[in-house]
Structure 1
Amino acid sequence: MPIPLQTLRRWLRLFLLTVLVMVTAESVSAQTAGEGAWPDVAHWDEVLTRAETYVRVRSPSEFGLSFHRKQLDQLREEASRIRNSAQQRLVKLEQVIVVLGAAPEQGSAGEPDETAARRQAYENDLAAERVTLAGAELALARVEALESDLAAAARRSLLDGVLQRLPIPVSPEVVWAAIQESVASIQALMTSFQVWYGDTVEGGKGRDGLWWRFLIIFATAVALGWFARKAVLQRFGRDPSVDEPSYARAVVAAVTDAVARGLIPGLIIAGLLAFFSRPGALVIGPPERMIEVLLAVILVFVLVVAVTRAVLAPELPQWRTIEIAPHNAHRITRVIVFMAAVYAVDFWFRLTAEDFTVSRDLMTVGLAMMVVLQAGAMFVLSHRTLWVTPEPAETETPEEPEPEKTSDGRFWRYVRGIIGLGAVFSILAALAGYGFLGRFLVDRIVATLIIIALVFLARGMLREVVGALTRSQLLRSRLGVQIESLRKIRFWVRGALDPILVVVGGLIVLPVWGVPREEISRWSLAVLQGFTVGNVTIAPLDIILAVAVFVATMAATRFVQRRLLERVLPETNISVSVQHSLTAGIGYFGAILAAALAIAVVGVDLTNIALVAGALSVGIGFGLQNVVNNFVSGVILLAERPIKVGDWVVVGDKEGFVKRINFRGTELETFHRASVIIPNAEILSTPLTNWTHKDRYGRIDIAIGVAYGSDTARVRDLLLEVAQSHNQVLVEPAPFVIFTNFGASSLDFELRCFTGDVIYRARIASDLRFEIDRRFREEAIEIPFPQRVLHMASATEPSIEALADQTTMGPMDRPWHDRSGVGGEGDE
């Protein structure tokens, strides 16, 4: 019994479908096996449970918070990877099931057992992947919630420490208890030094050469520091003979001066620290710790003083990186040195408090003293009189002196106001018993000011670097960037530096005020990766990369154009005009490629762009028709080449040489060296004269007149001799002379000759006129002036015009002495 054709088709379709499903399933299974993306749910739950338990601790430590943040970051990364893998496998499994088709209904023809088994396996895998995806998403949700809880716990711990209340430091009882405890601590420290001295020196332990080693280390540090300081200052230091150094040079000199002047003390102190910290040193026990702390404090103080004097440069105002008056520079230096000394004492107090048991009375009094001194110095620095710059001296003394102007702007006025308020609040908090709060505010304000100062120094350096790059010959000669374009680049790059530096400075300042770095990293990453507004995802990082790709591609295009125009094409036999057309075409292609790459980096769907472009085509057609018309006309000019770079053209009343064919217009350089930009559409729609379209041949016409009675044949011969004697007049076609007219005052001739370079037609015509004038003078041929013959009537005979006028006059038109014969007696 033959099998029906329809049955054969159905079985063949089922066979092909089974093969396709098997191939796809094998790839899915191989990928699943290779990825190994099954999550360790037990480990995840353990990590999350520990973090949830730690969050509930009243006073979590910074170490514990950082540890759990790192574990949560690792868990998030792993869960995100598993979620993404599960999503990809889900898509592929769903595609396989769609290809396999729906299961046959009950009562209909069944499917093969192998197909049914595969369908069931795929559905099981699909369900497992959904479970994996749900577990990963649940873990990510818990991680996000725990990160918020950890951030809240960190803020709570910070506030608990800062807002810790201590006894009132101005209370007499507290002050007296602090004094007694200070005296006892000093006596204990002196006792420990006496014990060390007795055991080490008097006991004979110091006679083994350690003191000689100490002196050798000290002398070596001094020598190395002195030579290094001298060499660095001679090479990179300030030169008093330079009156106006650049800002970058001043900053480099300030850094050099700070390093050099802090080098000798730094090396000395570092050597002493190494000597006292090594195993088996002379000083051991509590004295060793005190000496190490003291040396570290001195090192910090010396470096702060060196940096301050290097930046403010009180002795060399022209090298100062901040625009302030010399006397103010000295005052600010003294205040900062005082603050550095107070900070050194405070730093020593903090480190020693870690090794000794300090009572609350001594703690509050010590904190209050340090905060009052430091905040007082900050308040002095915030006063506006320290930041004024007197006006430069004028040649004539004004009647009323103008007030001094501050060297800072609105930003620095706000900063000074915040510093003053912070200093006052810190002092009040410390005196009220909140010494930790006062110290916290003072430390953070000082750290913030240091960061702001460094950011401003970096801003000045970067602006100088941008200016140097835009002034270099590299961008002009290699990339072909015009001076005006370089000015615009310099303006926009410098303008973009300020917001970038503000963001960078803010990211550095936030951890100083207690914001966890992990939180900042997560926020920054979320902002850079993008945020969704409606159905649109805005990714600043992609936009920045797109702009960078566009600029880099355009720069590469300019470089290729310049290399072709200067190195490659001149070695070929291609004409100059064709070379310019080729480079212009490369410029068009580079612009289109740069735009396409930028769009691709952003990830914009070109289909959506096509839809938007179609919807806005009518508006674009009306609003940008001139721009599009000029662009297309420029392409036509490059393709048909009715004009080329270097051609001498006349467009309407504009005449000159074609210098450049751009996207929108063509640049002409007139004979007066003026640049005229003509829209490309106007060039195509207006009658155009191109003197050098095919070649540079051209005709020169010189009109001349001679007096009546001159020998016309001799005139013709002379004109031909003059033309033939000029070295730029062509022999073929030969010059010729035309007798054009019998003029009113002269016999008119015209000399017509040809030249191989029509560019010089005006100069050749001038040479020919000089020679014609010389030859005509030699041959006594007159070039007449315009002449007019006037016939004057005699005095006795009336002219015909007068008689005619009298016949037409009426009685009232005649003179009064001729009216007597008209109409009766004359007047008496």
Structure 2
Amino acid sequence: MFLSCLLQPLRAALLATVLIGAGVPAGIAWAAPDAGSAATLTPQARIEKASRALDAVKRAVNDADAQETLKTLVDQASQAQRDAEASVQALQPDLEALDARIALLGPVPEGGEDQDIARQRKALDKQRSDLNSDIARGKLLAEDARQQSESIEKMRAQLLGEQLGRKVASPLSPTLWREFAQHLPDDLSRLQSLGQQARDGLSRATAKHGWTVPLAGAVMALLMVFPLRLWLRHLGRRYAASERAPAGRVRRTGLAVWLLLVGTLLPGLAAKLLVGSLDAISAIAPRLVSVADTFVVATFIAAFIAALAACLLVPTRPSWRLLDIDDLAAVRLRRFAWGAAWLTWLTMLMRAVSRAALTSNVGTITLDGLIALTYVGLIMSMLATLAALHRRRSAEAAQAEQEAEAAGKPHATRGSRSGWLVVARLGGHLAVFGALIATLLGYLNFAMFTAQQMVWVTVVVLATQLLMKFADDFALWLLAPESAIGRTLRLSTGLPPGRLEQGGVLVSATLRVVLVIVGITAVVAPFGNVSVLYDWVQALAGGVRIGGSVLRPSSVFWAIVVLLCGLALMRVVQRWLTETYLPKTDLDTGARNSISTVAHYTGIVLAALWALATLGIGFEKLALLASALSVGIGFGLQAITQNFVSGLILLAERPVKIGDWVKIGDQEGDIRRISVRSTEIQVGDKSTLIVPNSELITKTIRNMTMANALGRIQIQFSVPLGTDVGKLRGLMLDIYAANETVLSEPAPSVFIDSINGGLVAINSFAYVPSARSVYGTRSALLFELLQQCAANGIALVTPTDIHLVRDPQP
């Protein structure tokens, strides 16, 4: 008897569901013409419309006693606030234009003014007064709507707390079932009346319009759910397994996202198509409109849960599985996921039917208690499956460790449990324990809410994890250096592969942050109004006022685009200068580098100014910013500023240039690069000496190739006084002439530097083409000099040894 009484309302609910199908909510269909006409309304008319809507919300809020009703009122109040704020923004340009026209008239002269001008001034003043009144009214209306939304949100939170804390008789007590049996005949009568309305509406509609449209909608819906959905799933798997699919992890996560989209959208779209065909002939009874709305939402949610489980678990294809579980656990969890999807669908639909039929509270409470117990049983089954998975993994790890020890091989220590598995089991046990205790104590609403939130949070977390993996894989593949897009960007812009990979990481991080925010919003949606988040997004899209400027996301986006385009154009111009134009001029390497460097930094400055202008920051604001930062630049950035200015002086005055051989302190080498901050000098050991530009400006530097590129060799030595110095002079000149590096012009020269202490000091000079050749050529000349002197019997004086001899002590 009890079972038949329980199944009868379920059969009535399913009958109403079959009759109405699933379709576009009537509220959305009715709101579409209003949304289209709202675009043609004047700002004043929109303010008036928002005022009427807010008044209707205030009148309805006193009679609202359900979460759904309060949520609808919050949405209407938020929409009124958005309309008022948009109207105020639309009126601001008109007010500024009127102010500009009034300013052109100037003040009223003391002797009066022409009548035409006076009439124009009076008309403009009246228009301005009316605009000010409309703007003030719109601002006041927006603030009133915001306060009303906050007040209704507090009422929702209070009502939710009261519902969760409401206590009834325990399911173990006969009192609950006695009350349920007393109200059951009346509830069945209400359900039968609702079913009769559904049948009457369908009969009248088909008698008038026929069965063609509903049957066509039903056939197309079935085609979408079964053949089309299965074919699209097969198409996605075949493409992912082919060679045309992208390489890497994106192949697997992309297939999972495709299966999720196909499995979610096609059942929901099929339901909308079915109810659209019913609505086209007016076959949905007025009291069943809310059931139709719930049916659509329930279909999408149930399809989403089932599709998410299918794309994550993949019981028949372990290589494509994204979760780290074995085949047995995948099969069982897939069944439980289907059970959760069907249970969620039936729960939402039965609740909607119960509200439409106006059944008793005890019937609704009893139904919620049974659903809560069903959820608890489902969650316990999932936890048992996860526990068995943990035991199997522990056993496998222990067996592998024993085999490794028996073979005398080192074994890798592997954790027997995953982090997500531990969290899932802990959260599941807490939810089950809380729901069971709440059910036994009579808090059926709390038990129902806890069980549903456990399932919903699990679904949201898994979906967010899947989408984050796909976003990461897709962004890294899209901007990979070897991908088609990455190769195109690298060849067209000259970006190094590392920069492309950095871009992919940044895009991935941005997408992951957005997905986390969306996931958190989905988790907290049952506790509050999700439209508040969209209000923040819309306010952010409208712009953030900073001082006298409004910073909008669109402006930031276009500023970034402009900056990237400017930098790309700068690189093109610089490459044309260095590779095409400057090589055809008579300028040396240093002058070419100076021009290229100045063009480089000029392009960066112009691109930055262009981007700032796109943001709406004019040159006058930049001047104010520069004056405000002047003190900080003078003290904190003094060294950097000094090096920057010194670099500009070096590029303009060119006391040193690329290719010069300079000596600074005890270091000398070739100048390889001059930038606006420092200069790079390559010394003899091939290392690079980085010198701040201020050092090259303020200190003494020896530039051995500035005015003359020749290098001078000086050789000094001494010979005894009796040496034939004429012969020695000819020998030295012959040695110089025999060396190919020594120049004939200027000619080598040999001098007697001094005669002192029985020694003749010889000093000779020769020139080579470059200062860089001095050291090696001088060494070769000294080798040759020693050999020739030894062959010609010319003695070179060696240092004198001095020996001190002491007299013996007496």
1:753 to 766, 771, 778: 766
3-state SS of 1:668 partner? strand
Partner of 2:12: none
Partner of 2:311: 307
2:83 to 75, 86, 93: 75
In the TM superposition, 1:415-454 aligns within 5 A as: 421-422=430-431, 424-429=433-438, 432-434=443-445, 435-454=447-466
* Number of residue equivalences: 693
1:95-115 deviation line (CA, Å, top 9, x unaligned) = 256x1426x5xxxx6655445
Check the 8 A contact 1:745/1:787 in 2, yes or no: no
The answer to whether structure 1 residue 644 and structure 2 residue 644 are counterparts is no
1:339 is displaced (CA, Å) by 3.7
3-state SS of 2:248 partner? helix
CA–CA distance in structure 1, aligned partners of residues 463 and 124 of structure 2? 59
1:191-241 deviation line (CA, Å, top 9, x unaligned) = xxxxxxxxxxxxxxxxxxxxxxx99x9999989976874553142789xxx
Partner of 2:518: 507
Check the 8 A contact 1:94/1:126 in 2, yes or no: no
Partner of 2:714: 701
1:374 to 370, 373, 379: 379
1:641 is displaced (CA, Å) by 0.7
Check the 8 A contact 2:677/2:692 in 1, yes or no: yes
CA–CA distance in structure 1, aligned partners of residues 174 and 708 of structure 2? 107
The answer to whether structure 1 residue 101 and structure 2 residue 86 are counterparts is no
Partner of 1:140: 142
CA–CA distance in structure 2, aligned partners of residues 478 and 379 of structure 1? 57
1:774 is displaced (CA, Å) by 6.4
CA–CA distance in structure 2, aligned partners of residues 479 and 501 of structure 1? 27
Distance 1:498-1:650 versus aligned 2 partners, 3 A rule:
same
Partner of 1:627: 640
Partner of 1:590: 603
The answer to whether structure 1 residue 337 and structure 2 residue 334 are counterparts is yes
1:642 is displaced (CA, Å) by 0.7
3-state SS of 1:692 partner? coil
3-state SS of 2:709 partner? coil
1:449-476 deviation line (CA, Å, top 9, x unaligned) = 1244135415643784699469989999
1:58 to 61, 65, 73: 65
1:347 is displaced (CA, Å) by 4.3
Check the 8 A contact 1:228/1:260 in 2, yes or no: yes
Check the 8 A contact 2:257/2:470 in 1, yes or no: no
Distance 1:583-1:757 versus aligned 2 partners, 3 A rule:
same
Distance 1:351-1:444 versus aligned 2 partners, 3 A rule:
closer
CA–CA distance in structure 2, aligned partners of residues 294 and 84 of structure 1? 44
The answer to whether structure 1 residue 678 and structure 2 residue 683 are counterparts is no
Check the 8 A contact 2:678/2:691 in 1, yes or no: yes
1:582 is displaced (CA, Å) by 1.3
Q: Which moved more, 1:438-447 or 1:780-789?
A: 780-789
1:270 is displaced (CA, Å) by 12
Q: Which moved more, 1:712-721 or 1:436-445?
A: 712-721
Check the 8 A contact 1:728/1:756 in 2, yes or no: yes
In the TM superposition, 1:730-769 aligns within 5 A as: 730-740=743-753, 749=762, 752-769=765-782
Q: Which has the larger radius of gyration?
A: 1
Check the 8 A contact 1:90/1:129 in 2, yes or no: no
Partner of 1:194: none
Check the 8 A contact 1:250/1:320 in 2, yes or no: no
Q: Unaligned stretches of 5+ in structure 2?
A: 1-40, 193-221, 278-291
3-state SS of 1:235 partner? coil
Distance 1:266-1:630 versus aligned 2 partners, 3 A rule:
closer
Code of the aligned partner of 1:425 = G
Check the 8 A contact 1:745/1:784 in 2, yes or no: no
Check the 8 A contact 1:218/1:272 in 2, yes or no: no
3-state SS of 2:137 partner? helix
Q: Unaligned stretches of 5+ in structure 1?
A: 1-34, 189-213, 239-247, 280-288, 793-800, 807-812, 815-828
Check the 8 A contact 1:250/1:321 in 2, yes or no: no
Code of the aligned partner of 1:433 = L
Partner of 1:48: 54
Check the 8 A contact 1:236/1:256 in 2, yes or no: no
2:240 to 229, 232, 247: 232
Distance 1:349-1:438 versus aligned 2 partners, 3 A rule:
same
1:457 to 447, 451, 469: 469
In the TM superposition, 1:218-229 aligns within 5 A as: 229=237
Code of the aligned partner of 2:249 = A
CA–CA distance in structure 1, aligned partners of residues 273 and 141 of structure 2? 53
1:667 is displaced (CA, Å) by 2.0
CA–CA distance in structure 2, aligned partners of residues 455 and 775 of structure 1? 85
Distance 1:603-1:165 versus aligned 2 partners, 3 A rule:
farther
CA–CA distance in structure 2, aligned partners of residues 297 and 558 of structure 1? 51
Q: Which moved more, 1:449-458 or 1:425-434?
A: 425-434
Distance 1:766-1:430 versus aligned 2 partners, 3 A rule:
farther
1:631 is displaced (CA, Å) by 1.7
Code of the aligned partner of 1:657 = D
CA–CA distance in structure 2, aligned partners of residues 267 and 520 of structure 1? 24
CA–CA distance in structure 1, aligned partners of residues 550 and 265 of structure 2? 52
Partner of 1:124: 126
1:700 is displaced (CA, Å) by 3.1
Root-mean-square deviation (CA), in Å? 6.0
CA–CA distance in structure 2, aligned partners of residues 536 and 88 of structure 1? 14
Check the 8 A contact 1:93/1:126 in 2, yes or no: no
Q: What TM-score do the two structures reach when normalised by structure 2?
A: 0.66
Kindly indicate whether structure 1 or structure 2 has the higher relative contact order, using CA contacts under 8 Å at least 6 residues apart.
Answer: 2
1:706 is displaced (CA, Å) by 7.0
The answer to whether structure 1 residue 250 and structure 2 residue 249 are counterparts is yes
1:527-584 deviation line (CA, Å, top 9, x unaligned) = 5666679x79895857787677667655654554345334543344432211211122
Distance 1:751-1:130 versus aligned 2 partners, 3 A rule:
same
3-state SS of 1:513 partner? helix
Identity of aligned residues (%): 21
Partner of 2:96: 88
CA–CA distance in structure 2, aligned partners of residues 742 and 256 of structure 1? 97
1:443 is displaced (CA, Å) by 3.4
1:764-809 deviation line (CA, Å, top 9, x unaligned) = 44554565566667x55567572647899xxxxxxxx66xx46xxx
3-state SS of 1:657 partner? strand
Code of the aligned partner of 2:126 = N
Distance 1:149-1:663 versus aligned 2 partners, 3 A rule:
same
1:707 is displaced (CA, Å) by 8.0
Distance 1:271-1:82 versus aligned 2 partners, 3 A rule:
closer
Distance 1:70-1:45 versus aligned 2 partners, 3 A rule:
closer
3-state SS of 2:706 partner? coil
3-state SS of 1:699 partner? strand
Distance 1:713-1:527 versus aligned 2 partners, 3 A rule:
same
Check the 8 A contact 1:648/1:690 in 2, yes or no: yes
Check the 8 A contact 2:476/2:505 in 1, yes or no: no
Partner of 1:817: none
1:334 is displaced (CA, Å) by 5.9
Check the 8 A contact 1:730/1:755 in 2, yes or no: yes
1:656 is displaced (CA, Å) by 2.0
